[in-house]
Structure 1
Amino acid sequence: MELSSSAFSHGGEMPRRCTCEGEDLAPPLRWSAVPPNAASLALIVDDPDAPDPAKPQRTWVHWVVVDIPPSAGGLDGEGRSLPAGSRDGTNDWKRAGYGGPCPPIGRHRYFFKLYALDIALPGMSQPTKAELEQAMKGHVLAEAVLMGTYQKQG
């Protein structure tokens, strides 16, 4: 699978509008080459550099999305709704939906990880990353990763 965004390139800087210093809008995402036998897609966005890239102590979860239809082709982002049937999970701010980069110090990396699954996960209302990873075990057909960076400007 391939995962990309029109807002930033792999390894490039994420735009301010997608961060806490801007409108905190999810970036648009597009994917291709989803396995034909995929029943659903799942997305995890996290930052392994929290709180300080020089001394990371934890991975901060910014977004979890489950039951994305394989035919969706992407997420529009920019504050638009998710494809029908998709649901937001719970991020590390203990809320559903996207929470953009807001690094307290230094330049952080943000990993957008898309998984093609051989099952749907309708019983999971607002899963955390850990709950989703547990449910996905043994069901991942393919994975794609897009990484963006951000450092506070203000």
Structure 2
Amino acid sequence: MKKLFVFLLGMMITHATFSQTFTLKSNSLGGQFTNEFTANTFGCTGSNSSPQLSWVNTPAGTQSFAVTMYDADAPTGSGFWHWVIVNIPAGVTELKEGAGDAKATIAPKESLQTINDAGFPGYLGPCPPQGDAAHKYTITVYALKTAVLGTSLSSTAALTGFMLNQQVLAKASIIAYCKR
């Protein structure tokens, strides 16, 4: 009986040790945003291209994905949502560089880019105020238990966030910083 218990305990530890977790990666980003990915407004002169993102180890039951980018350090009292894209089909595991351009056809055609906190759909790169300490930008991919979130083009990031959290199976994030 003792040997069976030790064997089963060992199997559980081995499984836990080697289990893969839902993970977000980017070939475009390191620890800092480069000019290619910063905004081209509010005094910044970047290219405003969204970074390449990919994810692995999708949880069972995932029917779609969503991606957000949020600056908690923005001097607004409530942070700043730079990007919200939902209804990414379950078979998609990558957003190519530039997919945040809502006028281009780079993002999956079934996806929906809702308005960011600047008031337009798609990606708005970082542009922290001159002289501020580096801002921390959190990019998160959500694995969802619904194929269509139920938001619209004009849905706010706050409403979308509420709906995401009602449907989330798992989420994974990366953080990059920007200072000017």
| TM-score normalised according to structure 1 size | 0.87
The answer (yes or no) to whether the contact 1:64–1:128 under 8 Å persists in 2 is no
Q: Displacement of 1:144 after TM fit?
A: 0.2
CA separation of 1:120 and 1:5: change in aligned 2, threshold 3 A: same
Greater shift after overlay, 80-89 or 111-120? 80-89
1:69 aligns with 2:97: no
Q: Displacement of 1:130 after TM fit?
A: 1.2
What are the equivalent positions in structure 2 for 1:1-154 lying under 5 Å apart? 1-9=22-30, 12-20=31-39, 21-51=45-75, 57-78=77-98, 81-104=106-129, 105-121=132-148, 123-126=150-153, 127-152=155-180
The answer (yes or no) to whether the contact 2:89–2:147 under 8 Å persists in 1 is no
SS in 2 for 1:66: strand
**RMSD of aligned alpha carbons:** 1.6
Q: What one-letter code is carried by the residue in structure 1 that aligns with 2:25?
A: S
- Greater helix proportion: 2
Determine the C-alpha separation between the residues in 2 that align with 1:134 and 1:70.
Answer: 20
| TM-score normalised according to structure 2 size | 0.76
SS in 2 for 1:58: coil
The answer (yes or no) to whether the contact 1:45–1:61 under 8 Å persists in 2 is yes
- Count the aligned residue pairs: 146
SS in 2 for 1:45: strand
Structure scoring higher RCO (CA < 8 A, sep ≥ 6) equals 1
Identity %: 32
The answer (yes or no) to whether the contact 1:7–1:15 under 8 Å persists in 2 is no
Q: What one-letter code is carried by the residue in structure 2 that aligns with 1:106?
A: A
The answer (yes or no) to whether the contact 2:144–2:167 under 8 Å persists in 1 is yes
- Greater strand proportion: 1
SS in 2 for 1:141: strand
